[in-house]
Structure 1
Amino acid sequence: MRVVHRLFEMLIPRRPVSHQAKDRDNLQDWKNYVYGRARSAWARGLPLYGSSFRFTIVYLCGDSPADIDNIIKPIQDALVGVVFSDDSLVSDVDSHRRFISDGIDLTNLPALLIEGALSGEECVYVAVDSAGPLGSYL
């Protein structure tokens, strides 16, 4: 098992909103909510600059989940100015969706993700790490 030293992680205890949402006010409210949660979870002060980052999300969903690819951008955008200075610094994206009702093996999961799984409610786990060599992902 690879040891990961997270630069940032947080749990968003709500159903995510798609960047394709017709209700733009709802989308902006979602981004503001995620931004606020990120500010509360970010302990470093200034955002990260000048590197390549790996952005990871795990969406624990109920019935009728949002498309995983459509929830990445609003969350990533909400971290700009808090965690990283610009989302162009994100070179790697990992996204995962799991149904809460299927049961989730908690072995080797980060503590915040375990917390989300045990809540039984829709949530999104977010992590930012330094990007690794391409071969480490393939």
Structure 2
Amino acid sequence: MTRFEFIVDGPPVSQQARKRGKGNPIQDCKKTVRQEAEKYWSSEQKTATGLVMLQITYFYNSDQMDIDNIVKPIQDAIKGLAYVDDKQVSDLLVRKRNLLGDFRENMTSTLTEGFARGNEFLHIVVIDASDQEVIT
């Protein structure tokens, strides 16, 4: 795998969601993320067996979420598809950006699709991890 990219209509579900409300919002989130990921997965792609970098960007209308709480359900949802086990995630970049921001240059077709939908969404990218040198 070199690059796997997909979008999920949002807002995302926080890992904290299991502590309140009815049902199991975490399991519902994982199911949705997995279904969306499978739509973008091609038969030519190979599940990564080495270290990977996971990039998650939450494009929002109203910022009400701590982004650190959205990672684990997404990691779990794409385990076995993008990578064998989430222990392979050696690098993680999580961002949130307002949909009205001015950053729409050099976008991939997948990211362009997310903006075209006009709603909050998650843009998720899995790539092979770069070298493991520690930068200070």
When the two structures are superposed, what TM-score results if normalisation uses the length of structure 1? Answer: 0.83
1:34 CA drift (Å):
0.6
* Aligned positions of 1:44-123 closer than 5 A: 44=43, 47-49=47-49, 51-100=50-99, 102-123=100-121
Secondary structure at the aligned position of 1:16 is classed as: coil
In structure 1, what residue type is equivalent to 2:76?
D
**2:68 match: secondary structure:** helix
- Whole-angstrom distance in 2 between the partners of 1:135 and 1:94: 16
Cα distance change on mapping 1:135 and 1:66 into 2, 3 Å: same
CA deviation after TM superposition for structure 1 residue 110, in Å: 2.1
Cα deviation for residue 117 of structure 1 reads: 2.5
Alpha-carbon shift at residue 40 of structure 1 (Å): 2.0
* SS of aligned partner of 2:119: coil
Superposed displacement of residue 42, structure 1:
1.5
Deviation of 1:20 after TM superposition, in Å, equals 1.0
Do 1:11 and 1:125's aligned partners in 2 also have CA atoms closer than 8 Å? yes
- Aligned-partner residue type, residue 128 of structure 2: S
Q: What is the count of residue pairs matched by the alignment?
A: 132
Give the superposition deviation at 1:46: 5.5
Is 2:41 the counterpart of 1:42? yes
Q: Residue 20 of structure 1: SS of its match in structure 2?
A: helix
Q: How many Å separate the matches in 1 of 2:133 and 2:116?
A: 33
- The answer on whether the counterparts of 1:56 and 1:126 sit within 8 Å (CA) in structure 2 is yes
Distance, in Å, in 1 between the alignment partners of 2:114 and 2:11 is 12
Write the deviation string for residues 34-74 of structure 1: whole angstroms up to 9, x where unpaired: 1111122211466321x110100110012143211111111
Indicate the RMSD between aligned Cα atoms, in angstroms: 2.3
After TM superposition, the score normalised by the length of structure 2 is: 0.84
| Shift in Å, 1:136 | 9.6
User: Which residue number in structure 2 is paired with residue 133 of structure 1?
Assistant: 131
Whether contact under 8 Å (1:104, 1:117) holds in the other structure is no
Does the 8 Å CA contact 2:7/2:37 hold for their aligned counterparts? no
**What CA deviation, in whole Å up to 9, does each residue of 1:78-126 have, x standing for no partner?**
00011111000010001110111x3332112222222222333110000
Structure 1 residues without counterparts, runs of 5 or longer = none
Q: Which amino acid aligns with 2:52?
A: F
